[in-house]
Chain A
Amino acid sequence: MMNELPNGGPAAGTERLRGEGLFPGVIDAVEPPHRPETGPRAASQPKVSGEEIALIERICAGERDLFMELVRPYQRLVYSMALSIIKSEPDAEDISQEALFKAFKNLRQFRGESKFSTWIIQITVNEARHRLRRASRVAEESIDRGIESDEGDYIPIDFADWREIPSETLQRKELRECLHRAIASLRPIYRDVLVLRDIQHLSIAETAELLKISEISVKQRLLRARLQVRDALAPGIHGSWNTGSTTYKRVKPF
């Protein structure tokens, strides 16, 4: 949808972003934080706003300083995506900076077929994965604290006394770090669904389209991801939210 751009914008001949990594396709993403109120199917999301289109064209025409104005609303999105994949806050900061710079260098390649936020997410995820590969830091072994039934169902750990963790406790750096580690330790196929659904608040349909999997697969993977994070968190930070035994038994079927 964008016309040929004059010289003088972001560097010509820059590497064209391919649909590698997690998000090969295009999708209309929901602006975070937001989740459709009813059911899994969200209405079709608006594409790039006219203001953004105008900004992008001006940046590509040479007004580089406007790039900060374009991406400022997406900084938290980029950072949260990076942090959900990589465990370290300093690394997430580096990845965010790198991803945003790559967005700048490749801005001419953005064709407005998806929302700008989706494009930014794609760059961020690919950068985070690249960083992991480069450092040979493969995802840790899945936090499968549960076991699998004969039919492949994930059987969660039983603890009868899960206290509700109020949002205020997220102020505690320790809990936040534990949450980050739990999510980053998930196998990618489960983590990706969890990140898109529960952090970025995409619908089931949008997640399925973005990941090129069925909606049933999204639900199945989401189930496992949520249960695994639950199992990872609840045994707890110094047991501070359970008063029961530290030995957890498997849930006994009814």
Chain B
Amino acid sequence: MLEGKTIVEISCFEVWRRISDFVDDDVEPELKQRLEFHFGRCKHCKALLDGTRNVVALIGDEHAFELPRETSERITSALQRRIAEDAQDERKE
């Protein structure tokens, strides 16, 4: 925390460039403080931050790309069948 020091304003453009890094907690401490200060004052960038965080959470959610049980069973059955057929084909050769 840079107590007693002036926080240099940051433009929205610069915020947008680093917003993905901020979501990943991959920014330098000083920049992080400037970004947090900006988010407290700029509703547009705060909305962008919230949206980006939600996107990352959605995409990373295991339910986003779920493998339904029925689909798994079909894939398994089809694969087993093909492997068996492949074995038969090899024996014929």
Q: Which 8 A-B pairs have the closest CB atoms?
A: A80-B65, A223-B20, A170-B63, A253-B12, A76-B67, A198-B59, A162-B51, A254-B12
Q: Is the CB of A165 within 8 A of B79?
A: no
Q: Is the CB of B13 within 8 A of A253?
A: yes
Q: Is the CB of B80 within 8 A of A170?
A: no
Give the distance to chain B from A97, nearest Cβ to Cβ, in Å.
5
Taken together as a complex, chains A and B put the C-alpha atoms of A68 and B58 apart, in Å, by 30
Give the distance to chain A from B58, nearest Cβ to Cβ, in Å.
6
Taken together as a complex, chains A and B put the C-alpha atoms of A229 and B54 apart, in Å, by 10
Q: Is the CB of A68 within 8 A of B79?
A: yes
Q: Across the two chains, which residue of chain B brings its CB closest to A203?
A: B24
Within 8 A of B (CB), among A51-65: 64
A134 interface residue per 8 A CB criterion: no
Q: Is the CB of B83 within 8 A of A79?
A: no
| Residues of chain A within 8 A of B50, CB atoms compared | 162, 164
Q: Is the CB of A40 within 8 A of B47?
A: no
A159 interface residue per 8 A CB criterion: yes
Selected contact of A170 from candidates B9, B12, B58, CB within 8 Å: B58
Number of residues of chain A lying within 8 A (CB) of chain B: 63
Q: Is the CB of A226 within 8 A of B52?
A: yes
Taken together as a complex, chains A and B put the C-alpha atoms of A252 and B15 apart, in Å, by 12
Give the distance to chain B from A221, nearest Cβ to Cβ, in Å.
10
Q: Is the CB of A75 within 8 A of B78?
A: no
Give the distance to chain B from A144, nearest Cβ to Cβ, in Å.
15
Q: Across the two chains, which residue of chain A brings its CB closest to B24?
A: A40
Q: Is the CB of A93 within 8 A of B74?
A: yes
Q: Could you give, for residues 178-196 of chain A, a 1 whenever the CB lies within 8 Å of some chain B CB and a 0 otherwise?
A: 0110010000000000100
Q: Give the total number of A-B pairs whose CB atoms are below 8 A apart.
A: 155
Give the distance to chain A from B6, nearest Cβ to Cβ, in Å.
17
Taken together as a complex, chains A and B put the C-alpha atoms of A28 and B72 apart, in Å, by 26
Please list 26 pairs of residues, one from A and one from B, whose beta carbons are closer than 8 Å in the complex, sorted by A's number: A40-B24, A76-B65, A76-B67, A76-B72, A79-B72, A79-B75, A93-B71, A97-B78, A104-B79, A153-B17, A155-B16, A160-B43, A162-B50, A164-B54, A176-B63, A198-B60, A199-B64, A223-B20, A226-B20, A226-B56, A229-B55, A229-B59, A251-B44, A253-B13, A254-B15, A254-B45
Q: Is the CB of A100 within 8 A of B75?
A: yes
| Residues of chain B within 8 A of A176, CB atoms compared | 63-64, 66
| Residues of chain B within 8 A of A167, CB atoms compared | 57-58, 61, 63
A87 interface residue per 8 A CB criterion: no
Give the distance to chain B from A140, nearest Cβ to Cβ, in Å.
18
